[in-house]
Amino acid sequence: MLDDLGEIVEVVEVSLLHPTSALSTNVDNMSAFCSLREHRPRMHPVATESHDRRHFMEPVLFYGNHAASSFGSIVALEWLGQPYRLSRLNLPFDAKSDSFTRINPVQKVPTLLRESGVPLSESSAILQHLAGRDPRRTLVYAPGSPEQDHLNQVLAFLHTDFWASFFPGFEAYDMELTGEKNPAMQEMLRHSGRKRVAKAHADLERMMGNNEWLAGDKRTIADAYFIGVARWAPFLAATGAKMIDPRDYPRLLRHYEKLEADPAVIFAHAIEDEKPATSAGGFLGHLSLEEVQTRIAR
């Protein structure tokens, strides 16, 4: 699942300890990790605004299967309420296909294919783009305001420290699934992960303060990003790698539980799990990767 060099720098020291670890082929359980670690892709031409492309009727979000970081973008699309479609990728295989690589050479989700046929990747960029589509600014604050400055700070923290804190735990989990078990190394990774995840939660709880929502007095794109990443704690706990006790962070725990009851979050879970899903937003259905390619080629 993921996003930029800033997120990777903090965990390079851990990754170097296990250079031979491969991406898991267990698609249902390891989509989170598959998106976290992408090998350097072959370069393909990527669309730019100057290309002569047929315009789409609505944007298309490429997302991953279970535990992908594209979750937050689905939540934000639902909150936005404007028409959109989804395209599900079977990670990591579809993301590395020539068809998708032509759309996003970095081979990651989420990727938003805008109406112009031009792609946009990286969660924080997509969330900011979606917020900017709403003239009422329901998911952000006024540009240049103290509230927006704080929102940007929270987003930056989520996109770096908070996201990266889970990497060692997924590294240990990957070793388990690929049969490259090394109990001493895995325990060291989990120990490092627990410290990182605990510190990230403590820092974020202080940032939240007494706000009703994560970054202020209203629901924003920071809340969408948060719920997509915070759910990795119970995900890892279910595998036997408990990172934190959520009760140690009561404000974040209450906020997590509030978001889990939100219709957009319930919808995003159902979409990921391929269960019947009821949209409260503008979801118009799925397109396959092949159908998207056909539209682009017109």
Which residues 6+ apart lie within 8 Å of 162 measured at CB?
A: 200, 204, 226, 229
Which residue type occupies 152?
N
User: Cα angle vertex 223, ends 137, 71, to 5°?
Assistant: 105
> Which residues pair with residue 61 across a beta bridge?
86, 112
Task: Give the Cα separation of 120 and 132 in Å (integer).
Answer: 14
pLDDT at 55: 52
pLDDT at 56: 64
Task: Give the Cα separation of 278 and 288 in Å (integer).
Answer: 20
Closest CA to 196 of 226, 232, 172, 167: 167
Contact 3, 123 (CB under 8 A): yes
pTM of the model: 0.80
pLDDT along the chain (298 residues), means of 10: 40 39 37 40 37 65 88 98 96 89 92 93 96 96 97 97 95 86 94 97 97 98 98 94 97 98 97 94 94 78
Q: Which two tokens stand for residue 218?
A: 């209203």
pLDDT at 177: 80
**Residue 149 burial by Cβ neighbours in a 10 Å radius (0-12, 13-18, 19+):** exposed
